[in-house]
Chains A and B, each alone.
Chain A
Amino acid sequence: MNPIAFIDLSKQEIVVKPIPERIRHLFLGGRGINMYLLYNHLREGLDPLSPENPLLFGAGLLTGTHGIATARFNISAKSPESGNLGDSNSGGFFGPELRFAGYDHLFIKGRSPSPVYLWISDGKIEFREASHLQSYNLPQTLDAIRTELGDQDIQVAAIGPAGRRLVVFANVMCTIGDAAGRTGMGTVMGAKNLWAIAVRGRRPIEIASPEKLIKVVEKHYHQITQTKGYKATALYGTLMRLAISRTQGQEPALNFQYNMLESGGEEFDPDVFVRKYEYGKMACFNCPVHTKHLHRVSSGDHKGLTGAGPEYGGAGYFGSSCGTGDWVTIMECWDLCNQYGLDILTTAGYIAWVMELYQRELIDESVTGMPLHWGDHEAMTTLIHQMGRREGFGGLLSDGWQKANMRFFGEKAKEYEHYIPTIKGMTVDQDTRGTKAMAIGAATATRGGGCHLRSRFTMEEMDLPPEATKKIIGRPVTSDPDSYEGKAYPAIWMEKLCAVGDALGVCRFVTKWLSPGLLGFNELAEAVSAVTGYDLTPEQLMEVGERIYNLERLFLIREGLGRKDDRVPERFHEPWQYGYQRGSCIEREKFETLLDEYYREHGWDEEGIPTRETLERLGLSEEPSHLI
């Protein structure tokens, strides 16, 4: 297995160390080992923009191998956006190529005196001057580096103008359609004067049993491509969610004020997008699901608009949340974010927030400099330009909502906080009022933002009989999404699956996160065994997931977070107005009871702190153990 490279940008020094077997067994790789490193190397209370903030790139244990859809890697650090746990995951081809280039993990610290990019090829790591990339946007940066190094098969992870200007929600992108978006990992790169990392290699990843792997690949490939939902997933990708949200009343309409967008009309449908604007599909490494869209506008005022996406993040949040159903507006906003290197969910969340403040006349044109009517194309695109350039009113948002809120309301800022729906400092990415397992998962999600990628018990919406959920996750769960009963266990089960998926580098879209017929712990254990020879039982794999989640929890506790932060946004206590789940909301008392149950199930005390016994059971009682 590949080593980890410790890269000091201040001194331009590189130290390569093997990853101890014990760490592999406890945390596997990817997000797991990233979290180990972060917990062990980050000083409590550190400023996220300080050179000391460790920036971690981690490829999963299966990343780059034939286990299906093994494209993913994690970037982790302390987040400048939330001030807490920073962790973001991306697909594409960077993770696999990093491993082919000879490294599984990168630990980057310090700050380069002038802008640099790293060039990692077949084990060799070079620091290269990057100032000449100053005028490029993000996709141009990716291309420029490939051209400069003279190899189109190079994979690049880069920041754009927003990351270089330290906008706190800057992303890192690896292709025109792959981003590690959330928690401002691009900002951390910017603060280190590290503008990109280019990787290329021809080093094979060792396979314990190729014969076994051939069989596993065949089985998993058929399992994935023969599920009922495969065709729809392959056709609509994440936009499938748009259709579901619109018909079921789970739209984040007008900054989550409503659960259905009254305007928007029939055009606001994934079918319309696919028919009118899609010119192709894009897949990540080794993935038959190919969910990523490619769009082009071929007529009208915006003729020539071309790019990858949009995903549901764009359609739901630039769409419903900002009050429009116009695909062209959504696509242009999406493309602009990608060009500046801005996280789409946060950007859209901020636009929706200031639009609501404008709607309520809490801010006016003397502050905003322009009208901010819901769904206004001009206003939305102007705000993105301003955020990316740190100019004008939009520039006020570039340092995060907390500072902007202070600017708007001064001493009274606290009273107005509830207009921006956030959890642990991050804008939320799903409305979980009507689905209580998802709600508890979102409220406790370790990276904040009510993250649907930390725990989202999707089966909750599928009307599965309790016997069926028992078969899948080991305990019967009521088919009523609105019920609080026994909802802590499925949320925790899903946390473990997500954590293991990220530690292995496997996409959510081929696991039971998306659909019960897809890969679960059993299948993942088969792939791990064929690739690495580690004979982990599915139960042991689940325990790894639990361990990673507990370590993340320890990180949050160390940074001063706790029960008070395991919340849903204030707004989620108000009932949904439309749809078949009309009236659903998060009832405060019932939520507290569920939170108690969630802590108990986890083996945490009533403040949400893991108990001594839990840490001992998971082998975490010695942390930080400083083994690497």
Chain B
Amino acid sequence: MKRIIVHTERCTGCRLCESICALYNERMNDPSRSRIKISKKHSLGLSAPLVCLQCKNPPCGKACPVNAIKKDPNGLVKIDYDECIGCEACVSPCPFGVMMALPDKVVKCELCGGDPQCVKYCATEAIEYGNSERVIQQKRIQKMNQMLEKLES
């Protein structure tokens, strides 16, 4: 499935992804209501985007006592707000810390209906919307080229 793929080394930490996410999904100017989160190592100036990776076997779903977090046929992990009781049991099991507990509800990245806005505004392409298979294929090709170059020299 297509998901948000993160290239941490390219992130400049501008947090435009957070702002855009909150504007698009909440119609609010408040990055603390974003589904994507930039974490920072301030002393080195480094940043890392953290966002739901749509796990195949999502720990958040397992932790949910009312079975409100389900995978849809495309593999997208979704919260069913009709079922959700707001207990936040799903928040701490997430290994990436991206089940976001807002004051009024829990939210997670649901890929903006297939057109994730954060990706559109990432100038350095630190976040990409795509298929993991394609990314590893590129890596294999890169590796192969490196090996070929070595052989040639």
A interface with B by C-beta (< 8 Å): 64-66, 68, 93, 100, 139, 142-143, 146, 152, 175-177, 201-207, 210, 213-214, 217, 221, 225, 234, 280-290, 292, 294, 306, 308, 531
Contact = CB atoms under 8 A, between A and B. Distances in A.
A217 B23 contact: yes
A334 to B, nearest CB: 13
Given A152-B42, A175-B45, A213-B23, A283 B12 contact: yes
A206 B45 contact: no
A289 B14 CA distance: 9
B24 A214 contact: yes
Interface residues of B, number: 29
Contacts of B121: 217, 221, 288
Given A225-B123, A287-B16, A210 B42 contact: no
B69 to A, nearest CB: 24
Nearest to B102: A202
Closest 5 CB pairs of A and B: A288-B123, A283-B14, A204-B30, A283-B12, A290-B12
Contacts of A282: 12-13, 45, 47
Contacts of B9: 280
Contact of A286 (B14, B24, B33, B40): B14
Contacts of A288: 14, 16, 121, 123
A146 B42 contact: yes
A285 B15 contact: yes
A100 B42 contact: no
A91 to B, nearest CB: 10
Contact of A202 (B20, B27, B30): B30
Contact of A175 (B23, B39, B42): B42
Given A283-B13, A285-B15, A286-B16, A306 B42 contact: no
A287 B103 CA distance: 27
- Centre residue among B14, B24, B47 by max chain A CB count within 10 A: B14
A369 B77 CA distance: 69
A283 B124 CA distance: 11
Interface string B119-151: 001011000000000000000000000000000
B67 interface: no
Given A210-B23, A234-B123, A285-B15, 17 more contacts: A100-B30, A146-B42, A176-B42, A176-B44, A177-B45, A202-B103, A204-B30, A204-B33, A205-B29, A214-B24, A225-B123, A280-B46, A282-B45, A283-B13, A286-B15, A288-B123, A290-B123
B28 A204 contact: yes
A309 B57 CA distance: 43
Which of B29, B33, B42 gathers the greatest number of chain A CB atoms within 10 Å? B29
Given A66-B20, A217-B23, A288-B14, A206 B43 contact: no
Contacts of B33: 204
B19 interface: yes
A65 B29 contact: yes
Contacts of B124: 281, 290
Nearest to B46: A280
Contact of A204 (B12, B29, B46): B29
A310 to B, nearest CB: 13
B30 A205 contact: yes
A286 B42 contact: no
Contact of A142 (B12, B28, B30, B42): B42
B153 to A, nearest CB: 22
B47 to A, nearest CB: 8
Interface string B1-34: 0000000010011111001100110011111110
Contacts of A65: 29
Nearest to A214: B23
Contacts of B43: 139, 143, 176
Contacts of B28: 204, 207, 210
Contacts of A139: 43
Given A287-B16, A288-B16, A66 B23 contact: yes
